[in-house]
Amino acid sequence: MVRITLVRGDITAEEADAVVNAANSSLLGGGGVDGAIHRRGGPEILEACRALRASHYGKGLPTGQAVATTAGRLPARWVIHTVGPVYQASGSDPSLLASCYRESLKVADELGAHTVAFPAISTGAYGWPMEEAARIAVEAVRGAGTAVDEVRFVLFDEPAYDTFARELR
């Protein structure tokens, strides 16, 4: 069974085999987690993303899917990029958000990663309410049937941390 842990902090500082990026489908950078990962990880990550756009992902990475690159200068071996769904008050699809976690863990399994750090995908610019996003995230990880030993949720602020902590109890 995968062990789920929580820390409060900046995901770019996490020592883990893989850190997950809340990317957008262009794979070419953005704000929030994405911006921080590219800033701290250096140009190698963007170079790898550009190569993906030039090969398998000409139209970008579809929502709910995941793909790995180097982690550049981050204290991790890989960045797994996944694209969360944008929240819409009338009818957002929770299965797409769950898919981000499942597909990222599938990629982690293919890489042989033992520890994977996730941000709270879709809860920033993409607007998903933290409580619902935390429930979907925890459920998806628990149900993933992954070989990963530890999934670490890295929450940026105290309210987010507390919400995930409640969900894990």
| 47 Cβ neighbours under 8 A, 6+ residues apart | none
* 36 near ligand ADP (CB under 6 A): yes
- Interaction pattern, residues 94-123, with ligand ADP; x per rule: CB under 6 A: -------------------------xxxxx
Nearest alpha-carbon partner for 25 in 64, 51, 77: 64
* 84 near ligand ADP (CB under 6 A): yes
Record the tokens describing residue 151, joined without a space: 């999934």
Residue 1 beta carbon to ligand ADP: minimum distance, rounded to whole angstroms: 25
Which residue, chain included where needed, has tokens 């794979």?
A: 27
* 69 near ligand ADP (CB under 6 A): no
Distance (Å) of CA 103 to CA 36, 86, 89, 149, 162: 22, 17, 25, 16, 25
Considering the complex, state which of residue 54 and residue 122 has its C-beta at the smaller distance from ligand ADP. 122
In 60-163, beta strands by DSSP E: 66-70, 76-83, 115-118, 150-155
Measure the CA–CA gap between 148 and 59, rounded to whole angstroms: 30
Among 41, 64, 72, 124, binds ligand ADP (CB under 6 A): 124
Q: Which stretch binds ligand ADP (CB under 6 A): 30-38, 63-71, 140-148, 161-169?
A: 30-38
Which one is catalytic: 10, 34, 109, 157? 34
Q: Is 34 one of the catalytic residues?
A: yes
Task: Return the active site residues.
Answer: 34
> Which residues contact ligand ADP (rule: CB under 6 A)?
10-12, 22, 31-34, 36, 84, 119-126, 154, 156, 160
